[in-house]
Amino acid sequence: MTEAMVQIVDVVLLVLLAITGIAVIRTRNLFVAVMLAGIYSLVSAGLFVVMDAVDVAFTEAAVGAGISTVLLLCTLALVGYKESKPQHTPILPLFVVIVTGGALVYGTAEIPPFGEADNPAHQNVAAHYIHDSEDEIGHIPNVVTSVLASYRGYDTMGETAVIFTAMVGVLLLLSRGPLPKRVYHAGHWHKVKRGVTREDLIAEMEDEEVHDSTVVGGEDEDG
Amino acid sequence: MDDRVILRVGTKVLSPFILLFALYVQFHGDYGPGGGFQAGVIFAAVFVLYALVFGLERAMEVMPAKVAYACGALGVALYLGVGYLSMFRGGEFLNYSYLFDPEHDPTHGQHYGIIGVELGVLVTVFGVMVALFYAFAGRRRIDT
């Protein structure tokens, strides 16, 4: 690809990114917002490919556009897809966002040009990885894998532990663990029999509620 | 069971190929983009797809939630195991060069060490992604 073509692709992708971002903010339909967020991730993945960060692009496409979209849809199935009208005026958030964005854009002036060989990022260990990983790690053409799994094995171990911790956290908050041995309902404790599912139990309780109220009604008649 | 024949047949036809692609991503990570994380997500995506088309209960018969939880922990254990193994072989923690005779050829150990830890990442990511999906999809909407 020539330089001009790269720039055209860059501009097209960035414009798409901006359009999807604004559309996510403007829509009040959360289903639409989730779908647009998926598209946003996919376009970002495209940008990463253009910047030669294929491993990152791969992850972004699989996690951002794939799994997280599904998880968000699952959440929407629980909470509904309509967003209520905001209760505050957006002036203060807008001010904060503009100031922060302005600071970030100002900061980019100091960032070294993209892909230059004498950038600070390429001065320290990167040269060593590219030059010596063949001898130290063996014939692994994708240096990213050598760095990720061997040179930076500690970091990847930490990341794996973080993912595991995320699972533990979500399960603690969301999962429906095993049923308790007994449940308190309508004034007394019920033993939960083995092999009873949660749905059976709920149905049983509802039945009993109806049953109880008729009994109470009967007593009233007697009295 | 619904009558969306194309979805059901398409899912069944595609699933083995997606699993195979996940393995390709896993083992081709040395040569191109990919690795344990991406492969784990793709692996999990098969079961998410299955659950979306055939329902959560049938998916949980294919891949029980307990197995997914176990995978999530097992992968981390595998990763740590490779690290400790290289310690017991005389090197530092996670220094794979010592997995095999380092005097002879340290890259040999590096090669297998990387395969080992990438497998650990794959197993953890797969288990966690499936577990997260089950946790989200398994809840009912509570109407107040």
Burial class of residue A54 in the structure, from the number of CB atoms within 10 Å of its CB (0-12 exposed, 13-18 middle, 19+ buried): middle
- pLDDT given for residue A211 in this prediction: 62
Burial per residue of A78-109, b for 16 or more beta-carbon CB atoms within 10 angstroms, e otherwise: eeeeeeeeeeeeeeeeeeeeeeeeeeeeeeee
**A62 with B41: Cβ contact below 8 A:** yes
pLDDT tops 70 at residue B75: yes
Phi, psi for A190 (deg, rounded to 5): -115, 135
Residue B144 lies in a domain: no
pLDDT in tens for each of the 223 residues of chain A? 678 888 899 999 999 999 999 999 889 899 999 999 999 999 999 999 998 888 899 999 999 998 999 999 988 988 888 888 878 888 999 999 999 999 999 999 888 888 788 888 888 888 888 888 888 888 888 888 888 888 999 999 999 999 999 999 999 888 776 677 788 877 778 788 777 777 777 777 777 766 655 544 444 444 3
The answer to whether position B142 is within a domain reads no
DSSP state of A110: T
- Residues in A closer than 8 angstroms to B111, CB to CB, are 137-138, 140
Residues B76-87 have pLDDT tens digits of 999 999 999 999
Which one is predicted more confidently, B45 or B100?
A: B45
pLDDT at A25: 87
Assigned token pair, B80: 């740590």
Chain B hits for A163, Cβ within 8 Å = 72, 124-125, 128
Q: Of A216, A222, A220, which Cα lies nearest the Cα of A187?
A: A216
What span, in angstroms and rounded, lies between the C-alpha atoms of A174 and A179? Answer: 14
A residues 141-180 lying closer than 8 A (beta carbon) to B: 141-142, 144-146, 148-150, 153-154, 156-157, 160-161, 163-164, 166-167, 170-171, 174-176
Does residue B121 form part of some domain?
A: yes
Residue B39: name the closest of B112, B116, B118 by CA. B118
**Does B19 contact A at CB distance below 8 Å?**
no
Does ipTM surpass 0.95 in this model? no
Is residue A70 within 8 angstroms of chain B, CB to CB? yes
Contact list in B for residue A149 (CB cut-off 8 A) is 35, 113-114, 117-118
Query: The tokens of B6 are what?
Result: 């194309």
Residue A115 confidence (pLDDT): 79
Amino acid, single-letter form, for residue A182: R
Asked if the structure places residue B143 within a domain, the reply is: no
Q: What is the pLDDT of residues B50-69, one digit of tens each?
A: 999 998 889 999 999 999 99
Q: Please list, in sequence order, all residues whose beta carbon lies within 8 angstroms of the beta carbon of residue B100, skipping any fewer than 6 positions away.
A: B108, B109, B112
Q: Which fold has domain A1-83?
A: Four Helix Bundle (Hemerythrin (Met), subunit A) (1.20.120)
Residue with tokens 């968000």: A72
Please tell me the distance from the alpha carbon of residue A97 to that of residue A132, in angstroms, as a whole number: 44
Q: Is B72 on the interface with A (CB under 8 A)?
A: yes
DSSP state of A120: G
Residue-wise pLDDT tens digits, B107-133: 888 888 999 999 999 999 999 999 999
Full DSSP string of A39-102 = HHHHHHHHHHHHTT-HHHHHHIIIIIIIIHHHHHHHHHHHH-SBPPPPSS-SHHHHHHHHHHHH
Residue B36 falls within a domain, yes or no? yes
Q: What total number of domains does chain B contain?
A: 1
Q: What stretches of A69-204 adopt beta strand conformation (E)?
A: 182-185, 188-191
| Residue B77 touches chain A, beta carbons under 8 Å | no
> Closest approach of chain B CAs to the CA of A102, in angstroms?
35
Look at residue A221 in the predicted model and tell me its pLDDT: 42
> Does the pLDDT of residue B8 top 80, yes or no?
yes
Residue B105: inside a domain: yes
Structural domain of residue B16, as residue ranges?
5-137
A145 contacts in chain B (CB < 8 Å):
29-30, 35, 114, 118
Q: For the CA atoms of chain B, what is the radius of gyration?
A: 19
Which residues from chain A sit within 8 angstroms of residue B31, using beta carbons?
140-142
